[in-house]
Amino acid sequence: MFERAEVRVDLERITANIKHFKELSGTPVMAVVKADAYGHGLVPVAKAALDAGASSLGVALLEEAITLRQAGITAPILAWLVPPGSDYKLAVDNHIELAASSIKALEEIGAVKSEFRPKVHLEVDTGMTRGGFLDEWGKIDGHHVANVDVVGIFSHFARADEPEEKQNQLQLNRFKEMVATVESFGYTNIVRHLSNSAATLKDQDSRFDLVRVGIAMYGLSPDVKTLGDSASLGLKPAMQLRAKLHLVKTVPANSPVGYGATAYTTAETKLGVVAMGYADGIPRIAQGAGVFIDGKRAPIIGRVSMDQFVVDLGAESTATTGDWVIIFGDGATGEYTADDWGAASGSINYEIVTRIGPRVPRIYAPHVY
């Protein structure tokens, strides 16, 4: 047993979040499990989401979809970042639905020789100016889709986490226009999907036939500043990250700490060395976060190293070498949260949970909190 650090995931909380979104939206839910299920573990989370009532799974990469199939998952899967030149036959043979955002992709998918007919979701650019058909939209004709089944059309909001922004309505209007174009070609029974987590929470008009729930299914707010925290949104964070104190020692005042001596102790204190670093996904630039032990927070002092970082436990701390500390959790007892770590790193909670590296095992346990 390797006891250095671990991610503890409560799958029951993911189940609760999926059920919450099914009830809220009144539509089928696509559980987005890309990026190793936002760091929570691809296969266990996918199975939990489907057990909770998710109708389908969404991934970015073909290899993610194949991993799910190899794990015995038979539910519909959409992979939306599979560029031309990819092994489209492998996707089609495994009943993986593909996003197409270019004529070249449509042509290559349509050229697949398989006993199964390719299923395609047309990705359209409604204003994010990232993925999706834009200048080629008016150039698609019958022969481009002759050998595929167009089963869906979708786009992605750029500012759904800012509900009052006019761009959201502009994108919604543009999506409706592009849907109407597809329907005029005879595709009147396709799945329309636009809502991400934030839009599902705040924009009833954009839910259409399916909602894609990503960060929020893991119990995290799409944006704490504009939408509120997890608790205010009725979400239950599923991940807790903890690690062991590799060493606890008392040091005198004015002691330099870490590479570059960027910090000094201000008084005699106890320092704790946490056995995680930026190789595990702890942001090197993080300042203002730390760990939770003995009912209180202990902030980072000095720079985060590759495999470890130092926290100021305080002179009166009773922490000892080998104790577990919580790096982040749901915040209910005062511990730091993924939101706190995101703010301390000039980033967001998405990055904090997805960047935790493979050296840190994922442990699945009910009632983590």
**What is the rounded CA–CA span in Å between residue 166 and residue 27?**
25
How far apart (Å, rounded) are the C-alpha atoms in residues 215 and 279?
23
Choose the catalytic residue: 249, 259, 264, 296.
259
Task: List Cβ neighbours of 248 (8 Å cut-off, separation of 6 or more).
Answer: 270, 271, 272, 273, 313, 317, 319, 320, 321, 323
**34 classed as catalytic:** yes
- In three-state secondary structure terms, 346 is coil
CA–CA distance, 121 with 150 (Å, rounded to integer): 6
Name residues whose C-beta falls within 8 Å of residue 237's C-beta, 6 or more positions apart in sequence: 13, 218, 219, 220, 230, 329, 330, 331, 337, 338
Q: What three-state secondary structure class fits 38?
A: helix
Catalytic residue chosen out of the listed positions 34, 119, 236, 244: 34
Residue 226 near residue 161 (C-beta atoms within 8 A): yes
Which DSSP string do the residues of 186-245 spell out, in sequence order?
A: T--S-EEE---HHHHHH-GGG-TTBEEE-GGGGT--S-HHHH--TGGGT----EEEEEEE
Q: Is 166 a catalytic residue?
A: no
> What residues act catalytically?
34, 259
